[in-house]
Structure 1
Amino acid sequence: MMAPATQPGDDSRYQAVSSRDARFDGEFFFAVSTTGIYCRPSCPAVTPKRANVRFYPSAAAAQRGGFRACRRCRPDAAPGSAEWNVRADLVGRAMRLIGDGVVDREGVAGLADRLGYSSRQVHRQLTEELGAGPVALARAQRAHTARVLLQTTDLPVTEIAFAAGFASVRQFNDTIRAVYDQTPSALRARPAQRRASRPSGGIPLRLAHRGPYAAREILDFLQRRAVPGIEEVLGTPGARVYRRTLRLPYGTGVAEIHEPREGGSWLDCRLNLTDPRDLSTAVQRVRRLFDLDADPYAVAERLGADPRLGPLVAARPGLRSPGAADAEELAVRAVLGQQVTVAAAARLAGTLVAAYGKPLGAPDGGLTHVFPEPATLADASLAELGMPAARKRTLRTVAAALADGAVRLDPGVDRNDAEEALLALPGIGPWTTGYIRMRALGDPDVFLPGDVGVRHGLTALGAAPHDAQAWRPWRSYALHHLWNTLASTPKDS
C-alpha cells in the first residue's frame, strides 16, 4: 500500500479531523491504516490515532493508496475543492474538464489536446499535485456516478456500468469492489430503503456544499433571469423550486433544484435525463450554476475585512456567484442583455428559444425547449427579436465563433485566451466579456466597473472602483454583494 509523503500542515489537518471541521470537506481526505477506510474531515466516526492517519489531496489518491470509501460520511460525495475554481493553471483547468466528463468521452488524449499539453505532461502534473493521474481521477468519478445510479434507480446493473462510463462490466465490478468493498448488487440499497426512481421520476440527488449558503439570494438571481421555455421557478420564497432544461453530450435533461432550508449542507436535486450517461456531466453543470464548490469562509475572510463591504458580507453569509449550466447559452444571453434591463433580456431570450430552440420530446411543466445551438443561431435571421441590426450581427458573430471553435468556453479553456478571442469580435466589449468570464467560465475574480448596478452599489458604500483591488481574488462575490444592495439590478443578464 503506497502512502503519501508527509506534507507541511498535516498536524493542522489532523486537528480539523479531530474537530470534524466540515470547512475542509473536499479540500483533503484522510485514511486510516488500521481499517483501510478513507473519509472526509467531518466524518462522525471516532477520531483515529494520529499515527494511523494518512492524508490525501483527492479521493482518487486515497483509492490509489488501497483505501475504500467510508460508508458513514460518503467522502466521494463531498463538495469539490474550491481551488479548481480559482486556479487558471493546467491542473485547475484539467480538474474542471475531468469533472465535466471529458476523459470518459474523449480519453486522456482528448483531455490533453483540449489543454494544449502532451498526455505525459498532464499525467505528471496531476500526479504530483493530486496523487493520481487523469485515469484514476476519472475512475473515482465513475465509481461515484455508479453508486448514485445503483442506489437511486432501478436500472439494470449492466446498463449502470456503461452509463457511469466504464468500458466493460468486469471493469465496473472490479472498481466497485475496490472503492466500496462491496459488489454492485450489495451496494445497491434494499428495495424498502430506496426511493422509487423510474426514468419518469428522475434521479434524486443531494448536492453537497461547503459552509453557509445564501439560497434566497441565488434563487432571486435566477428567478429574475429565468428564460421562458428553458427555465422556471415555482413556489414561494423559502419553498421555491428552480427547474431548467439541459443540453448534454448524449441527450437532454431537466434539472429540478429545491430551495434548501437554512443551515443545511446540501441542495436537493432531481435529474431527469434522456441518457443516463450524462449524469456526471449534468451534476457538474448544476454544481457550477449554483456555485456549490465555493469556499465561503475564504471569501468572507477577505471581503469581510473591508470596512465598507464587511457589513454586507455579515448580512448575507454564504452569498454565491452563480455560474452557468451551459457556457455557450450564457454567452448568447450576455449579448442579448447588452444595454437592456434584466427583464427585457429574459423576454428576448424567451423569443429566441421559441423560434430556434430544440423542442423537448414532450413539454415538462413550463419547460418546452433546450436553448438553441450556436450553429443554428449563426445563420438565423433573428427577425423575431426586434433588436437593432448591429446587435443581431453581434449575436450571429458570437454564435458563429462558438460553432466553429474560434471561441471556446469549455470548463478547461484558458480564461485569458477566451477573453481575448471574445474581445476580437465586433460588438463585444469589456462588460460582455467580463460577465461571460464570471458566469460561463466560473472566474471568482471578475469586476465590472462599468456596470450600472455596480456603480450604484459603490456609490451607496462610499467606495470607488479602485477599492476593488483589495477584494482580490474574490471580486465576483463582491459584485453580487453590491448588486444585492439594490432593489433590482439595472443591467446584467
Structure 2
Amino acid sequence: MSENREPRAVRRRTLDSVTDDDTRYEAVSSRDARFDGEFFFAVRTTGIYCRPSCPAVTPKRQNVTFFPTAAAAQGHGFRACRRCRPDAVPGSAEWNVRADVVGRAVRMIGDGVVDREGVPGLAGRLGYSTRQVQRQLTAELGAGPVALARAQRAHTARLLLQTTALPVTDIAFAAGFASVRQFNDTIRAVYARTPTALRAEAGAGARDRTALAAGVPLRLAHRGPYAAREVFDLLAAEAVPLVEEVVGVPGTRTYRRTLRLPYGTGIVSVDERSAGRWLDARIHLTDLRDLTTAVHRLRRLFDLDADPYAVAERLGADPLLAAEVAARPGVRSPGTAAPEEFALRAVLGPAEAARVARRYGTPLDTPCGTLTHLFPTPAALTAHPAAGPLARALAAGEVRLDPGADRDEAERALRAVAGVDAGTAALIRMRALGDPDVAPVSVAGPEAERWRPWRSYAARYLAPAPAALSPR
C-alpha cells in the first residue's frame, strides 16, 4: 500500500486522532505507515508485536492487543517481528510536542540519561522522585524508565550486531548493558534469537573487523514525506567551518559535523539522498557507548520524529499558508545536535562563530578532512565580549538546554541573560530545545495562535529559502 493513501476510517491526522482500539485496528488493517511509532500492536496467538504497517497478513481483531511503546509490548512478553522490525520506526511526534514530565523524560531517556545516570539521575534532572517518575511513565507508556531504556539498548545492540564485526562482548557494553548475561537475556527476550543468530541474519559476522574504521552505517527512519533539500539548504547556510560542512550538489549532498559526546567525540555524516523512508547516515565514534546518544541527537537535528501529516492538516487549512503547504510537502523544523553550541552561535552570529571555533575550539585527535575541531564549550567562552554572559549562565547551570529542560523555564532564564533578546530566546527555544510550537517573530497575536501546536513549522514555511532563520 502506498504510504500516502488514506485508509477509509482513519481520515484525520492529528495527535489525538487515534484514541480507540477500533481506529487503531483500522490503521493496522490498512497497513498505514503514518502510524508507525505512534503505537504498536501484538498478536496473542503468535507472541509477536509489530508496527502498524507490517506487511504480514492482518490478524483477527480478537487476537490483537495495542501498546503505546515497544517497551510495553516487550514487557508483556511479546517478541519483535522479524519482518517489519518495529524497533526501527520513527519516534512518536507527541514527545516533542509535550512539555510535561513524561515528554521530558522520554527525550532524556532517548539521550541515554538512564544508561549513564540510572533512574535516580533521570528523576533528579526532572525534579521528581524516582517513584513519581516510574508511576507516571508506566501509566502513560505501559513501561517504566528501566524498561524504556532496555528497549533502546536492545535496538542499539541489534544495529551493532548487524552492521559491525565487533566482538559480542564489546557490543554488550557499547549498547549500555551492565553485563554480558543481561545482554544475552535481553536479546533472546526481544528478538527470540541469540546475538550470534541475530548477527548471522544480516551476514555481518563475515565482515572485516577493520570495517568499523569507516563508521557505523545507519538508516534514520522518518514518517511521511521529507523535504530534505530545504533541511540541507538550511544546514549549508549555517555551517561553521572546521566544525561542520555540507559537500556535494543539491540532491546528493552530505552533511558532516563533529560532536562532543558523554564518553568521547564523534563525526557524523548524513546524506541528502533519501530512499523514501529514511536518511542514510554514518557515525564515527571514539567510544561506542555514545552510539545511542549520537543517533538521538541526529534525529533531533533532522527532525525525524515529526508528523508531517498532522502539520499539513493544521497549517494547510490556513489561507495564509495553504499554498506553501501544498507546494512543499514534508517541511521540517530542524533542531540541533548540540544545544549549548547552538545557543552560543545564535548570540555570536555566523562570522564570529567561525572565528571562535578556530580560536577556542578543541582540536580533534584525528582530523577528518576539513573537520578539525569541536565547537568550544561554554566554559571556554566565559570571557568573550558577546557570548560571555550566556556562556557563564550555561556553565553555571543557570540556563538548561538539555533534552529534559523545562522549555518555559529555559526561555525565562535566557531572556534574563544580557545580550539575549526575545527573538534570540525564541530561536534557541525552537532549535536547541526542539519545541515544535514557537510562534514566528514576524507574525504576532491571534493569527499565529491558530497554528498551534505547529507554529515552528509555520515559521519554516514563512522563512525565505534557503537562508537560516534569523532571531530578528
Relative to the length of structure 1, the TM-score reads 0.89
How far 1:397 moved relative to its partner? 1.2
Over the aligned positions, Cα root-mean-square deviation in angstroms equals 1.6
1:440 counterpart residue number = 432
Contact 2:104–2:405 (CA under 8 A) maintained in structure 1: yes
Name which of 412, 423, 432 aligns with 1:420: 412
Q: Deviation per CA, 1:402-438, whole angstroms, max 9, x where unpaired?
A: 1111111110010011111111111211111100000
Name which of 217, 225, 232 aligns with 2:238: 225
Distance 1:92 1:227, change over 3 A: same
Identity between Structure 1 and Structure 2 (%): 68
Structure 1: which amino acid aligns with 2:92?
S
Q: Deviation per CA, 1:196-224, whole angstroms, max 9, x where unpaired?
A: 67231100000100011000000001001
1:102 counterpart residue number = 113
How far 1:155 moved relative to its partner? 1.0
Structure 2: which amino acid aligns with 1:151?
Q
2:57 counterpart residue number = 46
Name which of 292, 305, 329 aligns with 2:341: 329
Structure 2, gaps ≥5 residues long: 1-17
Instruction: Work out the CA distance in 1 between the residues paired with 2:192 and 2:353.
Output: 49
2:365 counterpart residue number = 361
Name which of 216, 240, 248 aligns with 1:235: 248
* SS of equivalent to 1:189: helix
1:395 counterpart residue number = 387
Structure 2: which amino acid aligns with 1:184?
P
How far 1:186 moved relative to its partner? 0.7
* Residue pairs, 1:137-156, within 5 angstroms: 137-156=148-167
Contact 1:27–1:81 (CA under 8 A) maintained in structure 2: yes
How far 1:192 moved relative to its partner? 4.6
Contact 2:233–2:467 (CA under 8 A) maintained in structure 1: no
* Residue pairs, 1:106-121, within 5 angstroms: 106-121=117-132
Name which of 199, 207, 223 aligns with 1:210: 223
Instruction: Work out the CA distance in 1 between the residues paired with 2:353 and 2:57.
Output: 53
Contact 1:115–1:412 (CA under 8 A) maintained in structure 2: yes
Q: Deviation per CA, 1:105-136, whole angstroms, max 9, x where unpaired?
A: 00000000000000000000000000000000
2:11 counterpart residue number = none
How far 1:487 moved relative to its partner? 6.1
How far 1:260 moved relative to its partner? 2.5
1:411 counterpart residue number = 403
1:473 counterpart residue number = 453
1:157 counterpart residue number = 168
How far 1:492 moved relative to its partner? 4.6
Contact 2:429–2:438 (CA under 8 A) maintained in structure 1: yes
Distance 1:239 1:124, change over 3 A: same
Instruction: Work out the CA distance in 2 between the residues paired with 1:409 and 1:90.
Output: 15
How far 1:193 moved relative to its partner? 5.7
* SS of equivalent to 1:348: helix
How far 1:448 moved relative to its partner? 3.4
Q: Deviation per CA, 1:266-304, whole angstroms, max 9, x where unpaired?
A: 010100011000000000000000000000011001000
Q: Deviation per CA, 1:359-395, whole angstroms, max 9, x where unpaired?
A: 111221211111111111114xx4xxxxxxxxx2x41
Instruction: Work out the CA distance in 2 between the residues paired with 1:490 and 1:247.
Output: 24
Instruction: Work out the CA distance in 1 between the residues paired with 2:251 and 2:368.
Output: 23
* SS of equivalent to 1:300: helix
Is 2:48 the counterpart of 1:37? yes
How far 1:190 moved relative to its partner? 5.5
2:14 counterpart residue number = none
Instruction: Work out the CA distance in 2 between the residues paired with 1:175 and 1:71.
Output: 16
1:268 counterpart residue number = 280
Is 2:47 the counterpart of 1:20? no
Distance 1:48 1:252, change over 3 A: same
2:184 counterpart residue number = 173
1:4 counterpart residue number = none
How far 1:308 moved relative to its partner? 1.6
Would you say how many aligned residue pairs link Structure 1 and Structure 2? 453
Contact 2:99–2:406 (CA under 8 A) maintained in structure 1: yes
Structure 1: which amino acid aligns with 2:436?
P
Distance 1:125 1:353, change over 3 A: same
Instruction: Work out the CA distance in 2 between the residues paired with 1:465 and 1:189.
Output: 58
Instruction: Work out the CA distance in 2 between the residues paired with 1:421 and 1:296.
Output: 31
1:297 counterpart residue number = 309
Contact 2:363–2:374 (CA under 8 A) maintained in structure 1: yes
2:10 counterpart residue number = none
How far 1:465 moved relative to its partner? 5.4
How far 1:466 moved relative to its partner? 3.9
Name which of 57, 66, 71 aligns with 1:60: 71
Name which of 289, 301, 307 aligns with 1:277: 289
* SS of equivalent to 1:260: strand
- Runs of 4+ aligned structure 1 residues displaced above 2 Å come to 189-199, 486-493
Contact 2:223–2:306 (CA under 8 A) maintained in structure 1: yes
2:382 counterpart residue number = 378
Instruction: Work out the CA distance in 2 between the residues paired with 1:330 and 1:490.
Output: 12
Contact 1:260–1:266 (CA under 8 A) maintained in structure 2: no
Larger deviation, residues 26-35 vs 359-368: 359-368
